[in-house]
């Protein structure tokens, strides 16, 4: 039966709603679930997770989409764990908290530098040690919230400042105490939802948008299939895709959905396997990668699948007006041209692999930021520097 399933996975490509799944090279390691993944400068990284015996959990693997191959990188020096969290700020990866192989809740924080292939331990997370919590980024800060603590769940949310290496308490997650909540970033917009609680076991279908400018939450439409947890979720452009998961009746799910910036859901191509939870995710350009996880037959997998989507893109400038350097978000590797108020060109460059561009220090006044694309109408933003 297992042989037939693998044969099926190797050859299947699912098409639906303009999206397609494709199987890529497996991670050359033991299958795992509940690990972390992130992408930096066009490469994907996978580390930690439950491999039954945690034998290879701390091995860090780097995926190159151009060659469809994996390379082992510097061993993660912290305790072996699952249910940790991660985010990326200024091309540095951050990994925090989790549940150790010795059944302890953790609160340590680590930074990974892909340029030097090295790890650095930072100050501990300032909230309670936890696992299975949401993460997203906005305006140069990382956010984590909710999650599991020994014998309970929590709802508190925290903001990480990479320049000061410290944490600040923010508004609580509005659904209350919850674990296995997922978070996604869409450019500079943040969403979180789903999850479960224990004693008694209940699931959630609620989703919310977090407004970092005012530290407030707004509820959006519920997850389309109802109560669910253990979703795989990843932002791409100004949209996100999420799916799989585990729901009431101990059922593993297969359906996937696209979430728009306006908080609307549309059906995406279903997963190419029957039941999948605990996967990790990363993305480049228009492609989302779902890696590892637990299948419905309780097999921990090393499989990697990609899903091609048509993400939503339009240029975003923040903050605006600004007293200091601002940042632009648009399509990855897009040409960007800045003009002053007299029409003189100030700078010509490109957004990075993730679609961001840090604006230069300039004199006060109005500026125009344009995104010329062959065969398309030029998009333009007005930037006011005080």
The answer to whether residues 266 and 380 belong to one domain is: no
361 and 269 both lie in a single domain: no
Residues 107-154 pLDDT 10s:
999 999 999 999 999 999 999 999 999 999 999 999 999 999 998 999
- The pTM (predicted TM-score) of the whole model is 0.87
Q: How confident is the model at residue 319 (pLDDT cuts 50, 70, 90)?
A: confident
Same domain for 222 and 105: yes
Q: What are phi and psi of 310, to 5 degrees?
A: -110, 90
Domain boundary residue, one of 243, 278, 308:
308
Among the ranges given (167-176, 205-214, 217-226, 375-384), the one the predictor scored with the smallest mean pLDDT: 375-384
What total of structural domains would you count in the chain? Answer: 2
- Tell me, yes or no, whether 207 and 101 share the same domain: yes
Q: Which residues contact 23 (CB under 8 A, 6 or more apart)?
A: 9, 10, 12, 272, 303, 304, 305
Q: How many helices and strands, by DSSP H and E, does the chain display?
A: 1, 39
Domain boundary among 242, 274, 308: 308
Q: Are 233 and 268 in contact (CB under 8 A)?
A: no
Question: Do 235 and 348 belong to one domain?
Answer: no
DSSP H or E segment with residue 9:
helix 2-11
Regarding whether 328 and 292 lie in a shared domain, the answer is: no
Average model confidence (pLDDT) for the chain?
Answer: 92
| pLDDT of 313 | 84
380: β partners: 370
Q: Are residues 52 and 76 in the same domain?
A: yes
The CATH number that applies at residue 326 is 2.60.40.10
Q: What is the CATH number of the domain that holds 212?
A: 2.120.10.80
The predicted pLDDT at position 52 comes to 86
When pLDDT is averaged across residues 323-338 and rounded to a whole number, the result is: 87
Is the predicted pLDDT of residue 354 greater than 90, yes or no?
A: no
Identify whether residues 164 and 262 lie together within a single domain.
yes
Q: What percent of the chain has pLDDT over 70?
A: 94
The pLDDT of residue 141: 96
State the average pLDDT over residues 234-260: 94
Secondary structure class of 8 (helix, strand, coil): helix
One domain, residues 209 and 245: yes
d(CA 87, CA 240): 16
Q: What is the pLDDT of residue 228?
A: 96
345 and 249 in a single domain? The answer is no
Alpha-carbon span 279 to 73, nearest angstrom: 20
pLDDT tier at 44 (50, 70, 90 boundaries)? very high
Rounded CA separation 278/83 (Å): 9
- What pLDDT shows up at residue 18? 53
Same domain membership, residue 332 and residue 240: no
pLDDT bracket for residue 3 (50, 70, 90): very low
Question: Is residue 9 over pLDDT 60?
Answer: no
The whole-angstrom separation of Cα 90 and Cα 141 is: 10
- Run of H or E including 187: none
Per the structure, the complete domain to which residue 369 belongs is given by: 316-385
| pLDDT band, very low/low/confident/very high, at 349 (cuts 50, 70, 90) | very high
Are 296 and 350 contained in the same domain?
A: no
Q: Of 288, 308, 328, which residue sits at a domain end?
A: 308
């Amino acid at each position: 039966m297992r042989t037939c399933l693998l044969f099926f996975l190797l050859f299947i490509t699912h098409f639906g709603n303009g999206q397609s799944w494709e199987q890529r090279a497996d991670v050359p390691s033991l299958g795992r679930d509940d690990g972390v993944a992130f992408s930096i400068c066009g490469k994907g990284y996978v580390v930690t997770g439950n491999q039954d015996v945690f034998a290879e959990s701390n091995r860090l693997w780097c995926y190159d989409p151009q060659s469809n191959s994996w390379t082992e990188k510097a061993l993660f020096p912290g305790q072996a764990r699952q249910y940790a969290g991660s985010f990326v700020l200024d091309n540095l990866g951050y990994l925090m908290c989790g549940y150790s192989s010795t059944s302890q809740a953790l609160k340590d924080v680590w930074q990974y530098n892909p340029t030097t292939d090295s790890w650095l331990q930072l100050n501990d997370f300032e909230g309670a040690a936890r696992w299975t919590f949401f993460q997203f980024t906005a305006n140069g800060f990382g956010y984590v919230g909710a999650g599991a603590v020994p014998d309970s769940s929590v709802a508190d949310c925290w903001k990480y400042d990479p320049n000061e290496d410290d944490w600040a308490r923010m508004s609580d997650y509005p659904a209350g105490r919850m674990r296995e909540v997922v978070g996604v970033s869409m450019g500079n917009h943040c969403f979180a939802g789903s999850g479960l609680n224990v004693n008694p076991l209940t699931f959630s279908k609620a989703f919310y948008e977090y407004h970092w400018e005012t530290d407030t939450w707004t509820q959006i439409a519920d997850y389309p299939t109802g109560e669910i947890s253990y979703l795989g979720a990843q932002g791409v452009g100004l949209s996100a895709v999420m799916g799989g998961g585990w729901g009431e009746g101990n059922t593993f799910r297969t359906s996937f959905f696209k979430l728009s910036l306006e908080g609307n859901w549309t059906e995406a191509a279903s997963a190419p396997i029957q039941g999948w939870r605990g996967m990790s995710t990363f993305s480049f350009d228009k492609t989302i990668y779902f890696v590892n996880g637990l299948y419905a037959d309780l097999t921990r997998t090393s499989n990697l699948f990609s899903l091609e989507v048509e993400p939503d893109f339009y240029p975003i400038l923040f903050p605006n007006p600004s007293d200091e350097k601002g940042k632009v978000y648009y399509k990855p590797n897009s040409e960007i041209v800045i003009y002053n108020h007299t029409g003189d060109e100030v700078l010509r460059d490109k957004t990075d692999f993730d679609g961001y561009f840090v604006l230069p220090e300039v004199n006060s006044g109005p500026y125009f930021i344009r995104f010329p694309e062959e065969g398309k109408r030029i998009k333009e933003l007005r930037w006011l520097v005080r």
